[in-house]
Amino acid sequence: MSVAKKEYKRITVKSLVDMKSRGEKISMLTAYDYTMAKIVDGAGIDVILVGDSASNVMAGHETTLPITLDHMIYHASSVVRAIDRALVVVDLPFGTYQSDPKEALRSAIRIMKESGGHAVKMEGGKEIKESIKRILNAGIPVMGHLGLTPQSIYKFGTYTVRAKEEQEAKQLKEDALMLEKAGCFALVLEKIPAKLAKEVAKSVNIPVIGIGAGNGVDGQVLVTHDMVGMTHEFNPRFLRRYMNLYEEMTNAFSQYGKDVKSGDFPNDKEQY
Ligand code: KIV
């Protein structure tokens, strides 16, 4: 498939669907704060995800479950202030949309009003269909998320590859079609076999963004702190580390500590 390049001043949900139809892959990374979002946006990444992975990466929780709507709004509003071009998608956190469609809509409205984000992402298939529809009816774009859905980690019991068995793969394919039919503008597939992800991407017209889902999808997403190597204990097979910032930052901090102790910092030129 040829890769047509078109310069977009501002990425919208429509530009993403356009990219898929032209065979142009979509790049997506996470950001949770102003400074990181500024760098990611300036680098030309198409979509910034304010993921509930902030619960792990920023707050040090073991799972994504503890992060609240207020926390997500704080992170998302910091990101929105930084961006000129990227589409900003914000995760609806655990417990803010599963109980009933009205609560789901209230949560999505708070995200849109209080953070200025452009769309929300929700984990799950048929079980949250009514909530998704309610949010879409209010004019809020929704990105779906299937496969490994970390908000259900206590149901799965493990972070291993999902949908390897026929029954789960069949359900995932049905859920993807349902999400497209309901009106979602895109879909994340996390940690599923590459063959299945490719099949799903071919079966829908909306863009499918993969993480640990192979190269047969329409775009890729990674957690920024993982791909720049700021985190170093999380090493799944799908992760490509573009830098080793953990080591570089450790060396810089350690050198700074030594320079302060020795009196080398600040020198004559570094004072008034
Ligand atoms: O929260 C997150 O960062 C995510 C990505 C892993 C897709 O949902």
Calculate what percentage of the chain has a pLDDT beyond 90.
96
Question: Which residue's CA is the nearest one to ligand 1's atom 4?
Answer: 51
Q: Which atom of ligand 1 is nearest to the CA of 223?
A: 3
User: 102 C-alpha vs ligand 1 centroid, how far in Å?
Assistant: 24
Residue segments in the chain with a per-residue pLDDT below the cut of 50: 1-2
CB-based pocket (< 6 A), ligand 1: 30, 49, 51-53, 91, 188, 190, 211, 221, 223
User: 54 C-alpha vs ligand 1 centroid, how far in Å?
Assistant: 9
| pLDDT for residue 8 | 78
Rounded (5°) CA angle 260-266-268: 150
Q: What is d(CA 211, CA 158) in angstroms, rounded to the nearest whole number? A: 17
pLDDT tens sequence across 15-68 = 999 999 999 999 999 999 999 999 999 999 999 999 999 999 999 999 999 999
User: 223 C-alpha vs ligand 1 centroid, how far in Å?
Assistant: 7
| pLDDT for residue 97 | 97
| pLDDT for residue 5 | 61
Question: Which residue's CA is the nearest one to ligand 1's atom 2?
Answer: 51
| pLDDT for residue 212 | 98
Identify which of 58, 148, 187, 223 to mutate to test ligand 1's pocket (most ligand atoms within 8 A of the CB). Answer: 223
pLDDT tens sequence across 199-212 = 999 999 999 999 99
Q: Which atom of ligand 1 is nearest to the CA of 53?
A: 1
Q: What is d(CA 169, CA 99) in angstroms, rounded to the nearest whole number? A: 25
Q: Which one is catalytic: 190, 233, 247, 248?
A: 190
174 is catalytic: no
User: 170 C-alpha vs ligand 1 centroid, how far in Å?
Assistant: 23
Q: What is d(CA 101, CA 204) in angstroms, rounded to the nearest whole number? A: 25
| pLDDT for residue 210 | 98
Q: Which atom of ligand 1 is nearest to the CA of 190?
A: 7
User: 258 C-alpha vs ligand 1 centroid, how far in Å?
Assistant: 38
Identify which of 47, 91, 209 to mutate to test ligand 1's pocket (most ligand atoms within 8 A of the CB). Answer: 91
How would you write the chain as a 3-class SS string?
Answer: CCCCCCCCCCCCHHHHHHHHHHCCCEEEEECCCHHHHHHHHHCCCCEEEECCCHHHHCCCCCCCCCCCHHHHHHHHHHHHCCCCCCEEEEECCCCCCCCCHHHHHHHHHHHHHHHCCCEEEEECCHHHHHHHHHHHHCCCCEEEEEECCHHHHHHHCCCCCCCCCHHHHHHHHHHHHHHHHHCCCEEEEECCCHHHHHHHHHHCCCCEEEECCCCCCCEEEECHHHHCCCCCCCCCCCCCCCCCHHHHHHHHHHHHHHHHHHCCCCCHHHCC
